[in-house]
């Protein structure tokens, strides 16, 4: 993956100070008589970046789909960027949120060209519903150039490696200058260095004045970089703990969370969780 440089300017738009970005109060999600999310209460404030950590099947993707209004809560109160679900305008809200993740990655046709795919980010859609003039697509091309991915211009999505696809999806996620950026297992399929580049990219996004709030969904504690301030620990559809990263990344809390004895090793800026009974 190429080293990524951010294209955003410092004053993207004026945003309220310290607004609540995400608020869930007693939210439940039930499908086919299965309780997928149970009584979730969680608040993300401006200035915080969260990692959602959980084992397989803990409900991470379902929580993400609720926030994106791709799933509808069964009960409870849900508010994202000031829009109350059930009252506010969801299509408008969607344009303020960007997602990078496999369930987005799978939606694109293999024949779509890199610049067209990046441009779909403008409409939060997986395809372009009309043809765009070269001049319009130049915005996407310029973005790819700025992030050092000009080699991808003109290439079809299906011909790209996993790492190259991820670069495209990141460019796509930035074209709308989102207020909320969600990454769902975004390092899947990336090699060691591509993964570090992605985490570095997030660090740069985080330094932007008026940059987006970042929500990062992962299985891998070693990806909890300095960019992140808070941690949501999700198990079997329930919040086990939610709070400041520094308060939660300790052996007692994580042993309780995983229900397995673990040890934490901090090497340089990374956390490694070692299962002790294997
Ligand atoms: N429509 C549905 N009907 C019944 N059960 C469902 C439905 N959708 C999800 N589930 C179940 O809800 C649980 C949570 O799923 P989800 O995909 O949100 O977990 P996850 O934490 O993202 O998992 P992974 O890390 O494996 O991707 C799983 O047990 C899943 O099988």
CA distance 109 to 126: 8
Sorting pLDDT into bands at 50, 70 and 90, what band is 170? confident
pLDDT value at position 47? Answer: 93
| 117 and 157 Cβ atoms separated by less than 8 Å | yes
Q: Does 235 contact ligand 1 (Cβ within 6 A)?
A: no
Q: Are 224 and 249 in contact (CB under 8 A)?
A: yes
First to last CA, the chain: 34
* Residue 206 contacts residue 214 (beta carbons within 8 Å): yes
Angle (CA) 112 114 120, round 5°: 70
For residue 11, the model assigns a pLDDT of 42
Residue 62 beta carbon below 6 angstroms from any ligand 1 atom: yes
Q: What percent of the chain has pLDDT over 90?
A: 50
Transcribe 24-78 into DSSP letters.
EEEEEEEETTEEEEEEEEEEEETT--EEEEE-TTSSHHHHHHHHTTSS--SEEEE
Atom of ligand 1 lying closest to residue 36 CA: 12
Checking if the pLDDT of 5 tops 50, the result is no
- pLDDT (0 to 100) of residue 104: 76
C-beta of 57 in contact with ligand 1 (< 6 A): yes
pLDDT of 16 > 60? The answer is: no
- Looking from the CA of residue 217, the nearest atom of ligand 1 is 22
pLDDT band at 17 (very low <50, low <70, confident <90, very high): low
Residue 72 C-alpha to ligand 1 middle, in angstroms? 14
Mean pLDDT, the chain, integer:
86
Average pLDDT over residues 39-48: 96
The CA distances from residue 103 to 90, 109, 176, 265, in Å, are: 20, 13, 19, 32
Query: Is residue 73 within 8 Å of residue 85, measured between CB atoms?
Result: yes
CB neighbourhood size of 229 (10 A): 17
Pick the residue whose CA is nearest to atom 31 on ligand 1. Answer: 57
Decide whether any atom of ligand 1 lies within 6 Å of the 187 Cβ. no
Asked if residue 46 lies in contact with residue 40, where contact means CB atoms within 8 angstroms, the answer is: no
Say what the pTM is: 0.84
pLDDT for the residue 206: 84
Going by alpha carbons, the residue nearest to atom 3 of ligand 1 is 31
* Span from the CA of 100 to the centroid of ligand 1 (angstroms): 18
Nearest CA to ligand 1 atom 30: 57
The whole-number pLDDT of residue 14 equals 47
**Of 111, 70, 107, 110, nearest in space to 90 by CA:** 70
Residue 213 has pLDDT above 90, yes or no: yes
What residues pair up with 40 in beta bridges, in sequence order? Answer: 27
* pLDDT at residue 4 is higher than 50: no
Question: For the segment 67-120, what is each residue's pLDDT rounded down to a tens digit?
Answer: 988 888 899 999 999 999 888 788 889 889 988 877 778 889 999 999 999 999
pLDDT of 268 strictly over 90: no
Range 260-269 average pLDDT:
91
């Amino acid at each position: 993956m190429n080293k990524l440089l951010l294209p955003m300017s410092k004053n993207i738009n004026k945003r309220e100070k310290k607004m609540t970005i995400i608020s869930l109060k007693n939210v439940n999600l039930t499908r086919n008589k299965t309780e997928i999310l149970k009584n979730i209460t969680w608040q993300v404030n401006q200035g915080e970046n969260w990692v959602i950590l959980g084992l397989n099947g803990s409900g991470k993707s379902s929580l993400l789909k609720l926030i994106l209004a791709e799933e509808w809560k069964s009960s409870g109160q849900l508010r994202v960027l000031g829009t109350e679900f059930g009252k506010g305008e969801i299509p408008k809200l969607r344009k303020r949120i960007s997602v990078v993740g496999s369930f987005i990655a799978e939606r694109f046709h293999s024949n779509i060209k890199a610049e067209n795919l990046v441009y779909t980010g403008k409409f939060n859609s997986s395809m372009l519903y009309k043809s765009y003039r070269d001049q319009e697509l130049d915005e996407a091309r310029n973005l790819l150039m700025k992030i050092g991915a000009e080699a991808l211009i003109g290439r079809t999505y299906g011909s790209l490696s996993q790492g190259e696809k991820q670069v495209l999806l990141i460019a796509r996620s930035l074209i709308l200058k989102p207020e909320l950026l969600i990454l769902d297992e975004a390092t899947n399929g990336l090699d060691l260095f591509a993964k570090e580049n992605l985490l570095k990219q997030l660090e740069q996004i985080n330094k932007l004045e008026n940059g987006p709030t970042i929500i990062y969904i992962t299985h891998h504690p070693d990806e909890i970089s300095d960019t992140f301030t808070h941690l949501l620990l999700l198990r079997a559809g329930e919040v086990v703990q939610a709070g400041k990263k520094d308060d939660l990344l300790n052996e007692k809390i994580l042993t309780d969370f995983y229900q397995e004895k673990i040890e934490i090793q901090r090497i340089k800026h990374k956390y490694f969780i070692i299962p002790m009974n294997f």
